[in-house]
Amino acid sequence: MGIWLEGKPLAEKIKEDVRRQAAHFQQTMGKVPGLTAVLVGENPASQVYVRSKERACKALGLFSEILALPGDISQAFLEEKIDELNGRNEIDGILVQLPLPPQIDSYAIICRLSPDKDVDGLHPFSLGTILANKTGFRPCTPLGVVALLKEHRIPIEGRDAVVIGRSLLVGKSLAAMLTNENGTVTTCHSKTKDLSQVCSRADILVAAMGREVFVKPEFVKPGATVIDVGINSVSDPARVKEYFGEDEKRQKDLQSKGYTLVGDVHPAAIERAGAMTPVPGGIGPLTIAMLMQNTLDAFKRRRGITAPP
C-alpha cells in the first residue's frame, strides 16, 4: 500500500513565503501584490472558486477585488473592462473565471489580457513560454503538480509519465512541463487505444479528465506515483460505499452535505501505487497557493525585483 501525498503542508509553506514577502513589500515600498478576479454571471461553482481566492489573498496580505459582471454583457463590454484592468498599476494579476457565458469568446478574452498579468497562465504567450522552456507564468494546477513531485523528491527525469487529459488548463500544459523536467511523457485522451495498458507502464500517472473514478487500480503500475487532479461530487450512497466502504468521514459528508468528493482515480488504487494524492486534500490546496505565488511573481517582475527579500 502506498502513501498519501497530502498537498496542504506544501501549500502552507508556499503561502507563508508569500505572506512574508508581501509584508516586506508593504513595509519597504508601501505596496502589496494585487489580484482582480473577473466573474461574469452567477455560476454557483465559479462564485465559490472566486470567493476562496479572495479569502486566500486577504489572509496573506495581498490586495484582492472581484469584478462581478452580469451574465448578459457583450464581448465588447468585457474587453473594455479587461483593458481597464490591464492599465491599473495596482493590479498585478488578472484572473478571468471560466466558463464564460456562451455569447463571450473566451479565447479572445484571455488573449486580451496583458501577458505580464496573466497569473492563470492561459495567455498564448504564457503557454508559449512553457513550450520554449523559458520564464513565464504556468497554469496553477500543473505548477502545483510539479512542485509536489519535487517536494517529495519523486524523480521525473528519465521516468515514464502518462497524463490523461488534454485541456490547456491542466493536461497539455502539464505534459509540456514534465517534458521540460526531462520526463518521457505520453498524453492520453478519450480516443487513446488500450488506455489501461498505456497507463500501466507509467512511473507517474496523472488523471485530469474530470470523470469520476475512471482510473481503476489495474491502470496503475505497482509502485507508481498517481496524481489525481479530478474533483467530482458523489451523492449516491451506493456509489460512495462502493468507492470507500464504510469510511466514517465519507458517511458524515453524505449526512451533512449530501455529497462527498471523489477524484478521477478509484481510491482503491492506493493499494497498488507507491504514492497517490487524495481527493480532497491533494492538488486542490496547491492550486490556490500557486495562484498566490504567481500574483507575487507578477508584482516583482513588473517592478524589476529579482533578488529575494
Rounding to the nearest 10 degrees, give the CA dihedral for residues 245, 248, 251, 253. Answer: -130
Quote the CA–CA distance of 214 and 249 in Å, as a whole number: 22
**What residues act catalytically?**
53, 97, 120
Q: At the topology level of CATH, where does 140-286 sit?
A: Rossmann fold (3.40.50)
Same-fold call for 24-116 versus 140-286: yes
pLDDT at 54: 95
pLDDT at 190: 87
The tens-digit pLDDT sequence of the chain (309 residues) is 899 999 999 999 999 999 999 999 999 999 999 999 999 999 888 998 999 999 999 999 999 999 999 999 999 999 999 999 999 999 999 999 999 999 999 999 999 999 999 999 999 999 999 999 999 999 999 999 999 999 999 999 999 999 999 999 999 999 999 999 999 999 999 899 999 999 999 999 999 999 999 999 999 999 999 999 999 999 999 999 999 998 999 999 999 999 999 999 999 999 999 999 999 999 999 999 999 999 999 999 999 998 888
pLDDT at 114: 98
* Closest to 161 measured CA to CA, from 134, 139, 188: 188
CATH of domain 24-116: 3.40.50.10860
Domain ranges of the chain: 24-116, 140-286
